[in-house]
Structure 1
């Protein structure tokens, strides 16, 4: 069955998640299309990466909506958000490793509103005494992204089981690495 643009994009993302430095020819072969077909949809790897960035932004908005950040405690909302982020974690892992391939100004604009939503959640949790006040909500947002991307990468390469995604991120984010 031929892939539509969205299917082609998702297949390319899956392959690039395992082989981030792949060429257009390698990507086309891996997803089962000709280089010409891939080029018709994405004029080059920068265009493909830009499309992946846009896909990740769309998926992040879906995750934010699913997580219902303004309901219940900030901790409960964060847990729902982490669960919802599992679907987008491979894209974040890929974008972290390939950020030089995208238009940073355009990308940052797309992510700004998402960042703001998550930062509001951390600020709410800090004000309620659920989260540490000595770390900025902006830093906690960045740390969350890094943990999601890292877990996504670890799952892709088989270092971590996918079923552990939420637990490992939540435990590390909420409790750190200290045993005391």
Structure 2
């Protein structure tokens, strides 16, 4: 029986987003294959993580495409982006904490493409007067990644409800943490 590489990556992503320290034996078991079969597809943990990076970046690019960032207001685009990114949020949370992906001289160009597109959304919102200008677009992009990850972990741990994922991120990004005073 042939092993579908994408199915193995999906299983690995699901496990590693819940348990980042999972061993390759645990990854193989989660994928329903032997460790030897896993090794034939991925020479080791580093190769698996790099493949997950590519898999995750493709998922993020698809979410960005689905969100249609250039359509409508920046706020509506941000809401669509959070909704489109929700299914891959756990994988992104795992990947952004994998130091090996960001150490050394070679960093996947996909991260730069993602950053460029997300920063572009925030910059557009600033230029249109929708978003505050005292915080740079690069920082807002990093805050987006952080909130996406935090919301994913909060839902996965049962600390918050899945239905709250999108409003938690969007409302905090748009409103900040200041208490709103009623007039």
Q: State if a TM-score over 0.5 links the two structures.
A: yes
Question: 2:156 aligns to what?
Answer: 156
Secondary structure class of the residue paired with 1:9 = helix
What secondary structure does 2:87 align onto? Answer: coil
TM-score by length of structure 1 reads 0.93
Distance (Å, rounded) in 2 between the aligned partners of 1:175 and 1:111: 27
How far residue 58 of structure 1 moved from its aligned partner, in angstroms, is: 0.3
Please list every run of at least 4 consecutive aligned residues from structure 1 whose deviation after the TM superposition is greater than 2 angstroms.
96-100, 102-108
Could you tell me how far apart the structure 2 residues matched to 1:65 and 1:5 are?
24
- Tell me how far 1:2 sits from its aligned partner: 6.6
Please give the alpha-carbon distance, in whole angstroms, between the structure 2 residues aligned to 1:84 and 1:19.
Answer: 24
Deviations 1:89-110 (A, max 9, x none): 011111123233x364544422
Q: Which residue of 2 is the match for residue 135 of structure 1?
A: 135
Unmatched 5+ stretches in structure 2:
none
Match of 1:43 in 2: 43
2:10 is aligned to 10
The alpha-carbon deviation at position 169 of structure 1 amounts to 0.2
- Contact 1:151 1:169 survives alignment (8 Å): yes
> After superposition, what is the alpha-carbon deviation per residue over 1:105-131, rounded to whole angstroms, capped at 9, x for unaligned?
544422111111111111110011110
* Match in the other structure for 2:52: 52
Q: Find the counterpart in structure 1 of residue 115 from structure 2.
A: 115
The secondary structure found in structure 2 opposite 1:88 is: helix
User: For the Cα contact (< 8 Å) 1:24–1:35, is it kept in 2?
Assistant: yes
Residues 44, 103 of structure 1: CA spacing in aligned structure 2 closer, same or farther, 3 A cutoff? Answer: farther
Q: 1:172 to 1:59 in 2, by over 3 A?
A: same
For residues 132-160 of structure 1, give each alpha carbon's deviation from its aligned partner in whole angstroms, at most 9, with x where no partner exists. Answer: 10000010011001111111122222222
How many residues align structurally?
A: 179
Structure 1 residue 3 displacement after superposition: 4.7
CA–CA distance in 2 between the matches of 1:171 and 1:91? 22
Higher relative contact order (CA 8 A, sep 6+): 1
1:176 corresponds to which residue?
176
